[in-house]
Amino acid sequence: MYLEEPDDVSGFIKCLRDRVSSAIRREEVDIMARWLPNEDWSEKWKHGLGPPKITDRIAVRLSWVQFNPEPDYIVIVIDPGMAFGTAEHGTTCRTLKLLTTALKVDDQILDVESGSGILAIPAAALGASESIAIEGDSPSFEALRKNVERNAVSS
């Protein structure tokens, strides 16, 4: 949990210990605390991501990552913004792999709660006649819209 460092650290920990002890009805509660410097987490999380996730036909390149794909790859460029979808999650990777083997030209795809567009955009790039992405969260929709434009699949 993140909290601003209080003026009286020991008093804060005693108060926290008393409240937790009362809430869980136990006499002894051990609380450990350490204070970390404030960092820009909106940028720092990007540094932990690896190279593009690649199936046998698709490379997903995060917009801030440099990547030189094989000549035949379809390269999808994603910036998730505040949306879910960087191809880092195992189910996303497996679904991308399934798309490359199961999707046929002229198939129609509906991606509900599409986040960054991480599934709908590759489906369109692989030849789906229609790849519809639905996203109800405003910040996620904005990331989706930008990624659709970035990958030239807006038609």
Residue 44, in any domain of the structure: no
- Are residues 76 and 131 both part of a single domain? yes
Strands (E), the chain: 53-54, 58-62, 74-78, 108-112, 130-134
Q: Give residue-wise pLDDT tens across range 1-18.
A: 556 778 888 888 888 888
- 73 and 144, same domain (yes or no): yes
**CB of 80 closer than 8 Å to CB of 53:** no
Is the CB of residue 21 less than 8 Å from the CB of residue 29?
yes
Q: Is residue 43 part of a domain?
A: no
User: For residue 2, what are the domain limits?
Assistant: 1-38
- 93 pLDDT band, cuts 50/70/90, is confident
Query: Cβ-count burial of 40 within 10 angstroms (0-12 exposed, 13-18 middle, 19+ buried)?
Result: exposed
CA-only gyration radius of the chain, Å: 22
Tens-digit pLDDT profile for residues 62-89: 888 888 888 888 899 988 877 777 777 7
Whether residues 74 and 12 fall in one domain: no
> pTM for the whole thing?
0.69
